[in-house]
Amino acid sequence: MTQEKLKELLQDMSLEEKVGQMIQLPADVLTGNGLVTGPTGTTQLTEDQIGMAGSVLGIKGAERLYELQKRQMEKQPHRIPMLFMLDVINGFETIFPIPLALGCTFSPELVKETCAIAAAEAAACGLHVTFSPMLDLVRDARWGRVMESPGEDPYLNSRMAEAMVEGYQGDLRRKDKVAACLKHFAGYGYPEGGRDYDNVELSERTFMEDYLPAYEAAVKKGCRLVMTSFNTLNRIPSSGNKWLLRKILRDKMGFQGVVISDYSAIEEMVFHGVAADAREAAKLGIEAGVDIDMVSNAYAGHLAELVRSGEVSEQLVDEAVLRILQLKNDLGLFEEPFRAVDSALAEKLLLREDFRQKARETAAASFVLLKNEGILPLKKTETIAWIGPFVENPELYGAWSFPEKPEETVTVRQGVEGKGLSHMTFAQGCYLMDPGCPTKYGRVINPCDEQADLWLREALEMAAASSRVVLCLGEHRDMSGEAGSRVSLGIPEGQMELLRKVRQVNPNIVTVLFCGRPLAVKEIAGLSRALLVAWMPGTEGGNAVADVLFGDRVPQGKLSMTFPRTLGQVPVYYNHLMTGRPNSPREIHLFKNGYMDEVTAPLYPFGYGLSYTEFSYSEVSLDRREMKAGETITASVTVTNTGDTDGVETVQLYIRDPAASVARPVRTLKGFRKVPLAAGESRKVSFSIEEPMLTFYDIDMNNTSEPGKFQVLIGGSSDTENGAEFVLV
Ligand code: GLC
């Protein structure tokens, strides 16, 4: 439809129709079931309002969506098609690693491919919009939603943002693409105490410097929707925050797409205490520029009346509705309301073999090898006991994955047996969760202790009789994700007991850790000769674990988020400030920055990850020592694989600005390159350094660079000291 036609349609619509386009229904209002992720206010809607609704979220299934679209359009005076939206954040039916693990691949290209697969599967099943990418920068592992983020670094998150938007979107008229919705705007990733939905207090400088870049990168890539966050940002709820949604998002970032609230977030402004009632919340939302009210009753219940009373200009409604109609038009829905729904195609696409292979490759690339005392890779001829609650657990996917066929997930046991290794032994060892453990859906009730005793006895006998033990331990998938904040960073005590007891009968332990967040793993690492973080690896998780442990694929992941030494260090992240009393990170000194009972260094820093080989770095060489704006310095290192097996190294470029008009982080990531190197091979790796990489928000909040000395650091982790100096004049 042309722009003119769109505007004519808008002019022909009644106020009720317009408001209907701004209402998003939860799945259960239309279908009686489906994904519900929080409290909703739309139960108060009339049948007419339900018929007028412009979109719905949380429904899967090509047939259902086809029928629903047909039914809904008949109720629409202008037969405007609905938008179908869903959280497809790391795969639709072929499930990929959680986004925090995708960040550990340091491979935007690979991540883009996974998003393109997710889009193809989702579109064939009738979906139009995915509530992804989630781009909240994260620094506090207590927060359950760190699993949804690419990690703690603005530069890495920005590259992942671009890759994800490109993977999902591309040309929206294509039948295998969906519109992307970045979230949660903004700053949701730093709630006080790591408590979900809590206040976020950030200086404007920190917000602009660290939290905004990834959202900005997604908008620059043409992301079509933005979702407002639940939290208050400096005491103002995002869904009513004009500074955030109009000054920053629309004016500064130039976003022209659709703004949708998070789940009930408009009406929740009453609970935040900035709106006396839902009517006032509706006024705040429309004035701030929220176009779609996700499942609250604010717009449905009050927006039309606010316009009729003259308290809200209809112009604001028209602008919002035009953006929504524009999105539907760009998706081709007016010409083809059933767009890509194709159950025959979906049947062929979902879990297609090449999609599964991509999931297997991505999972292996996302694993991070934190420790290896010469025990990995395992030999296929060895007698190995595979023990633990994750050996046969099919739920190897994150909290935001809802596969129709969970049985299609490859377990660790299936992955090992898939290699034809019949001499391996397998044991449960213990319950995944301890009796009485709180979960999001109630407390865990394990049937009987005798079972636990039986499992333990069997596991210890097996461990004693084997040359190696692989312990598969970790967090249940519901221990992270939304409403998954924890005051502990451990795994269930029953699993720790299993580890301690196995260690007494066999010290040759490889621990594989399944988790949705960085954990405090000092004891686990101390009792294991090797520690591999597998995160929540998805459909092909078991195959990927077997591939990496036997060396069929090399470990190449690098941490996208810091692993603390203890819970007490959190929040802990690499790009912190120097402070006026900098401490040696691994020593405790009186009257220096840090603690009296623990060093400040984390256990494993951002950017860290081992391989099955070793890499050495030459000194950093610069082709010049001085640079003006507009010029380029080339920084180079030669990286050598000094081991006897092939490997892949992620070479990381950091910049340090030791003296500026405001305190600057000890270093910031400004580039990375994945470099495959055969045993013994050397390769020169070069990065271009340009003035825009040196900009920051100065003492007057101007985004600018300042002349002076800089340091370039290049290595295989954020704690590299391999550097050289240059001057910006
Ligand atoms: C949830 C989440 C958001 C999700 C939305 C729809 O509460 O905060 O990330 O996209 O509701 O499910």
Over the chain, what is the mean pLDDT?
96
Where does 363-569 sit in CATH, by number?
A: 3.40.50.1700
CB 146 within 8 A of CB 103: no
How many H helices and E strands in the chain? 22, 29
Whether the pLDDT of residue 39 is over 80: the answer is no
For residue 34, the CA-to-ligand 1 centroid distance in Å is: 14
pLDDT at 495: 97
Q: How confident is the model at residue 210 (pLDDT cuts 50, 70, 90)?
A: very high
Instruction: Please confirm whether the linkage preceding 394 is cis (ω < 30° from 0).
Output: no
Q: How confident is the model at residue 31 (pLDDT cuts 50, 70, 90)?
A: confident
pLDDT at 212: 98
Burial class (CB within 10 angstroms; exposed 0-12, middle 13-18, buried 19+) of 132: buried
For residue 243, the CA-to-ligand 1 centroid distance in Å is: 23
Burial class (CB within 10 angstroms; exposed 0-12, middle 13-18, buried 19+) of 644: exposed
Q: Which atom of ligand 1 is nearest to the CA of 58?
A: 12
| Stretch among 28-37, 130-139, 448-457 having the lowest mean pLDDT | 28-37
Whether the pLDDT of residue 447 is over 80: the answer is no
Average pLDDT over residues 303-331: 98
Q: How confident is the model at residue 449 (pLDDT cuts 50, 70, 90)?
A: confident
Average pLDDT over residues 553-572: 98
Q: How confident is the model at residue 44 (pLDDT cuts 50, 70, 90)?
A: confident
For residue 394, the CA-to-ligand 1 centroid distance in Å is: 24
List the domain boundaries for the chain.
363-569, 615-728
Cβ of 482 less than 6 Å from ligand 1? yes
Q: How confident is the model at residue 338 (pLDDT cuts 50, 70, 90)?
A: confident
Cβ of 40 less than 6 Å from ligand 1? no
Rounded CA separation 18/66 (Å): 23
**Best CATH choice for the domain 615-728 from the list 3.90.190.20, 3.40.50.2300, 3.40.50.1220, 2.60.40.10:** 2.60.40.10
Whether the pLDDT of residue 435 is over 90: the answer is no
Q: How confident is the model at residue 35 (pLDDT cuts 50, 70, 90)?
A: low
pTM metric for this prediction: 0.97
Cβ of 38 less than 6 Å from ligand 1? yes
For residue 153, the CA-to-ligand 1 centroid distance in Å is: 23
| Stretch among 16-25, 43-52, 200-209, 664-673 having the lowest mean pLDDT | 43-52
Cβ of 183 less than 6 Å from ligand 1? yes
Cα 578 to Cα 140, 205, 226, 566, 606, distances in angstroms: 19, 17, 34, 21, 17
Average pLDDT over residues 308-330: 98
Q: Across 273-350, where does the E strand assignment appear?
A: 293-294
Cβ of 268 less than 6 Å from ligand 1? no
Average pLDDT over residues 20-29: 93
**256-276: per-residue pLDDT in tens?**
999 999 999 999 999 999 999
CB 57 within 8 A of CB 30: no
Rounded CA separation 217/223 (Å): 9
Whether the pLDDT of residue 43 is over 70: the answer is no
For residue 38, the CA-to-ligand 1 centroid distance in Å is: 8
For residue 262, the CA-to-ligand 1 centroid distance in Å is: 6
CA 170 to chain centre: 20
Whether the pLDDT of residue 720 is over 60: the answer is yes
Average pLDDT over residues 651-676: 98
Q: How confident is the model at residue 293 (pLDDT cuts 50, 70, 90)?
A: very high
Cβ of 267 less than 6 Å from ligand 1? no
Rounded CA separation 447/362 (Å): 37
Average pLDDT over residues 605-622: 98
Clarify whether 644 is annotated catalytic: no
Cβ of 263 less than 6 Å from ligand 1? yes
Residues 6 or more apart whose Cβ sits within 8 Å of residue 279: 298, 301, 302, 305, 306
Whether the pLDDT of residue 324 is over 70: the answer is yes
Cβ of 36 less than 6 Å from ligand 1? no
Three-class secondary structure of residue 192 per DSSP: helix
Whether the pLDDT of residue 657 is over 60: the answer is yes
DSSP letter string over 37-100? -S--SGGG--HHHHHH--EEES---HHHHHHHHHHHHHHSTT-PPPEEEE--SSBSSSB---HH
Instruction: Name the catalytic one among 87, 153, 210, 262.
Output: 262
**Which neighbouring-strand residues pair with 385?**
425, 469
**Residue whose CB lies within 8 A of the most ligand 1 atoms, among 59, 87, 178, for a mutation test:** 87
Q: Which atom of ligand 1 is nearest to the CA of 148?
A: 9
Residues 6 or more apart whose Cβ sits within 8 Å of residue 680: 640, 641, 642, 644
**379-432: per-residue pLDDT in tens?**
999 999 999 999 999 999 999 999 999 999 999 999 999 999 888 999 999 999
Whether the pLDDT of residue 356 is over 60: the answer is yes
Q: Over pLDDT 70: what percentage of the chain?
A: 98
Rounded CA separation 175/320 (Å): 26
**Residue whose CB lies within 8 A of the most ligand 1 atoms, among 196, 239, 262, 268, for a mutation test:** 262
For residue 709, the CA-to-ligand 1 centroid distance in Å is: 45
Q: How confident is the model at residue 40 (pLDDT cuts 50, 70, 90)?
A: low
Q: How confident is the model at residue 340 (pLDDT cuts 50, 70, 90)?
A: confident
Cβ of 149 less than 6 Å from ligand 1? no
- Please give the single-letter amino acid code of residue 641: N
Element (H, E) at 617: strand 615-617
pLDDT at 28: 84
Cβ of 162 less than 6 Å from ligand 1? no
CB 63 within 8 A of CB 38: no
pLDDT at 339: 82
Q: Which atom of ligand 1 is nearest to the CA of 85?
A: 6
Rounded CA separation 544/631 (Å): 44
